[in-house]
Amino acid sequence: MISNSWTTTSAVDFHFNRFVVGRQLKFTLLPRRCYITKRILWLENAYRLTAMYTGPETPVYDHRWYDKDEYLVARLKDLI
């Protein structure tokens, strides 16, 4: 049976979720792509999750964008 993207979590997603430092509901003025559905988010509200990776030099920030409804479903399923 082929599993869908909702039930599979990779090591990269697990690593990203450990280092999330902020969640914001923002208006997307520039086109962004939803991390779950790969749909273009433009001129609408979307969630931006920010992860911070620290090391010997300056911290690196990674941003992921999620559609408002898809983010809610993922939070209820405890995937994010």
**pLDDT tens, 15-38?**
777 888 999 999 999 999 999 899
Q: Are strands 32-33 and 40-41 parallel, antiparallel or unpaired?
A: antiparallel
Confidence (pLDDT) at 75: 87
**Spatial contact of 13 and 21, defined as CB atoms under 8 Å apart:** no
**pLDDT tens, 51-61?**
898 888 899 89
CA distances from 62 to 2, 27, 36, 75 (A): 29, 18, 16, 19
Q: pTM, whole model, 2 decimals?
A: 0.78
**Spatial contact of 76 and 6, defined as CB atoms under 8 Å apart:** no
